[in-house]
Structure formats: C-alpha cells, structure tokens
Chains A and B, each alone.
Chain A
C-alpha cells in the first residue's frame, strides 16, 4: 500500500502545516512517511507546496512523481488546478473554493471552479464556512482534512489523536475547535 498526497495553497494561509497531522497519524499506523516542502522565503503570497508520501514499504523519493498522487488537498482553487498533472487516474481532489486573488492576472474564479468540476473525483468545499461553523475561522485547513478523511488509508480516530497532539500546546479551546472543524469537514464529504 502506498498513498501520496500533494498539499498546496498560498503562502501565509498556514494550510500545508496540516500535513503534520496526516504524517503523524500515518506514522502512528506504522507506515513509512516522507514529507517534502518548499519554503524558506518569508514573504507572503507565493505558491506553497508540500508532498506527503506514506507506504507500508520504504518510501524512496521525497518528490511525488507526476500522475501518481492519490489525493490533492488544496487550500485554494487555482492552486488545486496547478497540481492536477500530479493526480493519478482515479485520484481525488479536495479543494477549498474561496479564491485568493493576490495577483493581477487571476483567471475568472467561476472558470477555475468549472475546470475543477470537470475532473472526476474533485470535491469542492467551502472550508471557511465549515471552520466558522465549528467556531474557529482559522481551522479551515483542518476542516479540509476532515473533508478528505474518507480517502485516507488512516482511521479517523488516528487523525483526531494527531490533531489533539498538534494543538495541545494552544489549549483545550483550540483543540476542541479543530476537532469540531475536522468533524464538520467529514460530514461535508461523508
């Protein structure tokens, strides 16, 4: 078994930090994990990308080959579109719908969404709304993980444990809000 995830978004969204949640849950399940991200510049607003790979055999490349990702988890729709060449046939896309238009040549958002809808297995979720419902607008990325949970080869309880782990430092209120966001996400894509 192998499972490859491309996580993408815009710098400053804080999105790809949730790859840690999935990585920890995978490790707890005894899988080999490699995670790669390109970061370094402090400035905001550029594309950010992480590759997360898990397998019951040793993972070789830290980079996911094209046309092999099982899941694209996108925190912004244009970024989802950017990484479609990495998706394998039959793979899933779970993407937030809210466009982040910090560029002059951002295409028509409806056209972006329409392109995404053409891809079988694409699930578009209003992650911001889900997070707000859960009581913490900053938990949109965790809501998105919830919406992708059913595809992951991991138990929901393992993901919940990893969420608790990750946010424990920030206190019970933040942990609870994120657990709720996760739950709302799961219900949005049951």
Chain B
C-alpha cells in the first residue's frame, strides 16, 4: 500500500490503471475532464499496468463515439473505461442504454460526473436516475478513497455480471483532494480475447428480447449486491437517516453536534450501490419514527421511498422541504435538516459584495469575432444568433450581447436552420470548433441537403477552450476541407482572421454570406490564448 493525495478524478484514473485498464476514452467536460488528463499524463510518463503493458487513453469526438470505442474494447475482451460529464451521458444515451443488454466481455466502467449546483453546466441532472432507466448497476463513492476502491470493484462486478457499471461522482468529489491508500501494483490487463460468438452482441429484435429478459433477470443479483454493500447502523428509534454517496460526509460533519443535542445518534443507512437496496431501507424504517434522506442531486432514494401511497412513517428530505430540491448539498443545509441551530459567526458585513462573473480572457479571439458579426448584422433589424456551449457563450453578457441561445452542444446549427426554415431570416449559428466536431457536423449536413438559408460561424480557436484547452479531434488546417466535404459550396466557405486587424475584411465577408440565400460557413481562425500558453509551457 502507498498513500497519495488525489482528487476524485485522479483517484478514479489510478483505480482504473490498477484494475488492469487497457483502454480509456472520453470527451472533455467539467468536472470529469481530469480523469482523462490524469490517464494521459500517466501514459506520457511511461506508466503501465502491473504487467508492464501500456494502456490507451484517447480523447474522442463526443461522448457517444467515446462510449462506442469503449464498447469495442470490451468486445475485444479488455477492460475499458469511458468518462464524461452528466450531460455527456445524454449524447451517449443510445449506446449506454443498449449496452446494458449485451453480454459485456472485458469489464466496462462508465464514469459520469454530475454537477449539482451547476458550477459549470446547463442542468443538474442526476445520473443515478439514468442508470436506473438503463437497468444498470451504479456505484456512488462517498470520498476519494471509495472513488479509487469502487473503480476496481466496478471492473470486477462488470466482468462477473457481464454488464457495464456506472460510477457516479459529483463536482465536489471530482475536484476535492484527500489522502488515498492505493495498491502498490495492481492487476495485469486482460489478453485480447474476442467475445464468444453466441449472438449476445447482436441486438436484433429476436435476440434483444432474450437479452432484455437476461438483464431483467440479473436485477435480483444487482439488488442483492447493493443490499450487502450498504451499511445499516441501528441506534436511535426517533430518527433514521439515509445518506447516499458524498452526502455521508455532510452528515458526519454534524453528527457530533447532533449527539450532543439529542443524546444519541440517529439510526443510519448509507447507500453507495444501486439499484436502491429496498430491503435495507425497509429494515431501517421499521425501527424508527421518521426518516431523513440526504443525497446530492435529485431525490432519487427519497422518491423511491415515498412511492405513491402514504408512508407508514414521515419521510423528510428534498421533497418535503427539509432540504432544497435544487443546488449543491453542503454541511450547513444538512445541519438545518437535522434540526441543529445555525452556528454563530461574525456579523455580516454591511456591504453586500456584488458577484464577479467570469469573462473572456483579455485578447480572446471570440471578442473580435463578436465585434465583426455585430457590425455585419446592423443592417438587419430582425435576425437570430443561435449559439452553443463554450467560452463564446459569454458572448451573451455585456459588453458583447451578441448571442441569443445556448441549449446543448450542436444546437446552434440545428436551431438556426430550423428558425430559417420557419421563416426567420437571417439566422446565424455561432459554434466553437470542438463543439462543431462534437455534434455540429450532422446539423450542417441537414442544412446542406435542404439548402437552408443560414450562416454558420465556426469560431476556430484550435482548442476546446472552455474545459481547459484540450486538443480538438481534428486540426484546424483540415476544418475548411471538412466543411466542403460535407457539401457546402466552396464559394460560400470563408476563412477569416479572427483579429481586430482584419475587422473590415471580416465584416465584409460575413455580410456577403448573410446575403447568400443558401447554407454558408464562415470560419474565424485564431488560437485561444490559454491553449497558446499551455503549448508554450510544454
């Protein structure tokens, strides 16, 4: 055993390597990005699994392609991991849900990082609900040590039960550090050994029906395992507390004060494995007068506990208002839910500090692209500027006020196209290069095939800036040819220098393309300041 100080993301990366990882795939997304970054940094320094073999750690075009690559590695008999942020799982939902039906061969671990509180996301969906939807087992670590341990455990479970395992973490766990005991060596990789040719990977209806029955049949085993791995400590009969994942720490933080106030600890059930261990929940509730459920994210456990019929004892939690339904959980919220008084601090300052929103870096190419676009649009009193997710989303704020929508990755082009087809003109889609490769291309193909009158403005800063400047899947030099290859008329593919010095030329080109009655693409090229610095620091 060695000890290391690790972020949750790093603990998962190390756990995977010690579990005999052969291949990891990912698309960046806060707070999951550091899992792949850690694996790549390890690989670069020559790290191997216990058998001295190298492992693959690759960025992919999007979460769906990453997921499918991981599936292929499992098919080849090897241990594979795919990691993403919560909304990435929506993109990968098709392979995710269907992969629960196939007979997983090499262990497949799906790490999904949720973002309660939306520190850097557009929603706070809870991946435990998606695991349940796919009838897939889900493990939820309570700290960095468990993040490491459960990654190893998830690979074992996946191979034993021939099913992918979802490991759910949250921003707080992903991005906080603690001391972790790690194995000195770990396990060797599986040899390449193709999945048995028993049709179990061919989800045509006749087979899929059998595989679905097989998955349903496995649920009892999954649940039994969750029952066995959850821990119930009987104490006070007055109150039962259920914690899930990291919420355990917020409960622990307040336990001493609770015992001091009430004379005894609540009876306590901690859940780190799903499907929900219903037996343990019943056991807890049979012995207490009321139960409080503490979980970060959706009230997944609480909702299950409540069902639709009246409960024999009161259930407290997010749905009854003891805890908020939205936002990130914290020790103060849990303190209040436990009925403890607020701690008394120093008097609040008389001057409430205004918030300090993030801004584009000084000299960011996006600022110059917005300036050119705004000027080009001046002659059109009505127009639509649909945008996307990336640093350029800050174009919504002053002083730019340049964009009008941001929904999900790739939506800019689809929305600008749909709005144009519905009669709104002119429409512009503003999209980053990484987002274009992620899910903009297929929307552009739609625009081409229908000859939609819209202008796509690709902000090519040659990186995935928003998430800390990871490389894009294709080099900037190939972007123009790619766009032409998708069928856009080369006369209406314009490459601009995204810099003040070329402002006039950019305005002119954008105006010309706005006037063009079919699909056109404008590419503003200049490297992101952060990416440039990162490259130079190497």
Residues of chain A touching chain B, judged by Cβ–Cβ distance below 8 Å, are: 10-12, 23, 27, 32-47, 51, 59-68, 78-79, 81-82, 84-89, 91, 102-107, 111-112, 115-116, 118-120
Bound CA–CA A107/B346 (angstroms): 21
Given A37-B176, A65-B332: A89 in contact with B357 (beta carbons within 8 A): no
Residue of B nearest to A68 (CB): B343
Other-chain contact of B354, A23, A84, A107 (Cβ < 8 Å): A107
Bound CA–CA A88/B347 (angstroms): 10
Given A23-B5, A38-B175: A84 in contact with B119 (beta carbons within 8 A): no
Asked if B346 and A82 sit within 8 Å, CB to CB, the answer is: no
Asked if A34 and B358 sit within 8 Å, CB to CB, the answer is: no
Chain B residues with Cβ under 8 A from A12's Cβ? 361
Output the least CB separation between B257 and chain A (Å): 10
Bound CA–CA A187/B359 (angstroms): 36
Bound CA–CA A104/B399 (angstroms): 10
Asked if B354 and A41 sit within 8 Å, CB to CB, the answer is: no
Asked if A43 and B346 sit within 8 Å, CB to CB, the answer is: no
Of residues 364 through 384 on chain B, the ones whose CB sits less than 8 Å from some CB of chain A are: none
Of residues 157 through 181 on chain B, the ones whose CB sits less than 8 Å from some CB of chain A are: 171-173, 175-179
Chain A residues with Cβ under 8 A from B343's Cβ? 65-68, 88
Asked if A78 and B356 sit within 8 Å, CB to CB, the answer is: yes
Chain B residues with Cβ under 8 A from A104's Cβ? 398
Bound CA–CA A27/B342 (angstroms): 31
Of B203-211, B452-460, B466-474, the one touching chain A: B466-474
Residue of B nearest to A69 (CB): B345
* Further contacts, 16 of them, CB under 8 A, given A36-B176, A41-B30: A33-B179, A40-B31, A40-B120, A43-B391, A44-B361, A46-B357, A60-B252, A62-B172, A65-B332, A67-B344, A67-B346, A84-B345, A106-B354, A107-B354, A118-B349, A119-B349
29 A-B interface contacts by CB (under 8 A): A23-B177, A27-B179, A33-B178, A36-B172, A36-B177, A40-B31, A40-B119, A43-B391, A44-B358, A46-B356, A47-B356, A60-B249, A60-B252, A60-B253, A61-B249, A62-B172, A63-B330, A66-B332, A67-B342, A67-B346, A78-B356, A79-B353, A79-B356, A88-B345, A89-B345, A102-B356, A103-B357, A107-B353, A118-B349
Of residues 330 through 352 on chain B, the ones whose CB sits less than 8 Å from some CB of chain A are: 330-332, 335, 342-346, 348-351
Output the least CB separation between B179 and chain A (Å): 7
Bound CA–CA A37/B344 (angstroms): 24
Answer whether residue B263 sits at the interface, using C-beta atoms and an 8 A cutoff: no
Asked if B354 and A103 sit within 8 Å, CB to CB, the answer is: yes
Other-chain contact of B359, A43, A106, A112 (Cβ < 8 Å): A43
Chain B residues with Cβ under 8 A from A79's Cβ? 353, 356
Chain A residues with Cβ under 8 A from B119's Cβ? 38, 40
Q: At the interface, is chain B mostly helix, strand, loop or mixed?
A: loop
Chain A residues with Cβ under 8 A from B49's Cβ? none
Chain B residues with Cβ under 8 A from A36's Cβ? 172, 175-177
Given A34-B176, A35-B176, A40-B30: A45 in contact with B349 (beta carbons within 8 A): no
Asked if A46 and B30 sit within 8 Å, CB to CB, the answer is: no
Chain A residues with Cβ under 8 A from B348's Cβ? 84-85
Answer whether residue B530 sits at the interface, using C-beta atoms and an 8 A cutoff: yes
Asked if A89 and B346 sit within 8 Å, CB to CB, the answer is: yes
Asked if A112 and B172 sit within 8 Å, CB to CB, the answer is: no
Answer whether residue B321 sits at the interface, using C-beta atoms and an 8 A cutoff: no
Answer whether residue B315 sits at the interface, using C-beta atoms and an 8 A cutoff: no
Output the least CB separation between B403 and chain A (Å): 15
Residues of chain B touching chain A, judged by Cβ–Cβ distance below 8 Å, are: 5, 30-31, 33, 119-120, 171-173, 175-179, 246, 249-250, 252-253, 330-332, 335, 342-346, 348-351, 353-362, 391, 394, 398, 465-469, 530
Chain A residues with Cβ under 8 A from B31's Cβ? 40
Asked if A62 and B332 sit within 8 Å, CB to CB, the answer is: no
Number of A-B contacts (CB under 8 A): 157
Bound CA–CA A38/B33 (angstroms): 14
**Closest A-B pairs by Cβ, 5 of them:** A67-B345, A46-B358, A40-B30, A36-B176, A60-B252
Chain B residues with Cβ under 8 A from A47's Cβ? 355-356
Other-chain contact of A42, B342, B345, B353, B391 (Cβ < 8 Å): B391
Chain B residues with Cβ under 8 A from A63's Cβ? 172, 250, 330-331
Given A42-B391, A61-B253, A84-B349: A103 in contact with B172 (beta carbons within 8 A): no
Residue of A nearest to B119 (CB): A38
Given A65-B332, A67-B342: A45 in contact with B353 (beta carbons within 8 A): no
Given A61-B249, A65-B335, A81-B349: A35 in contact with B177 (beta carbons within 8 A): yes
Chain A residues with Cβ under 8 A from B349's Cβ? 81, 84, 115-116, 118-119
Asked if B353 and A39 sit within 8 Å, CB to CB, the answer is: no
Asked if A65 and B331 sit within 8 Å, CB to CB, the answer is: yes
Given A41-B30, A68-B343, A87-B346: A105 in contact with B362 (beta carbons within 8 A): no
Bound CA–CA A84/B511 (angstroms): 51
Asked if A91 and B346 sit within 8 Å, CB to CB, the answer is: yes
Residue of B nearest to A104 (CB): B398
Asked if A45 and B359 sit within 8 Å, CB to CB, the answer is: yes
Chain A residues with Cβ under 8 A from B360's Cβ? 43
Residue of A nearest to B255 (CB): A60
Other-chain contact of A119, B330, B332, B346, B358 (Cβ < 8 Å): B346
Other-chain contact of B353, A40, A46, A81, A86 (Cβ < 8 Å): A81
Output the least CB separation between A108 and chain B (Å): 9
Output the least CB separation between B458 and chain A (Å): 19
Bound CA–CA A104/B355 (angstroms): 11
Other-chain contact of B5, A11, A27, A91 (Cβ < 8 Å): A27
Bound CA–CA A34/B6 (angstroms): 10
Asked if B175 and A85 sit within 8 Å, CB to CB, the answer is: no
Output the least CB separation between B55 and chain A (Å): 25
Chain A residues with Cβ under 8 A from B177's Cβ? 23, 33-36
Bound CA–CA A126/B502 (angstroms): 42
Chain A residues with Cβ under 8 A from B175's Cβ? 36-40
Asked if A44 and B331 sit within 8 Å, CB to CB, the answer is: no
Asked if A42 and B465 sit within 8 Å, CB to CB, the answer is: yes
Interface centre among A32, A44, A46, A107 (most CB of B within 10 A): A44
Asked if B33 and A40 sit within 8 Å, CB to CB, the answer is: yes
Residue of B nearest to A19 (CB): B177
Asked if A42 and B530 sit within 8 Å, CB to CB, the answer is: yes
Residue of A nearest to B335 (CB): A65
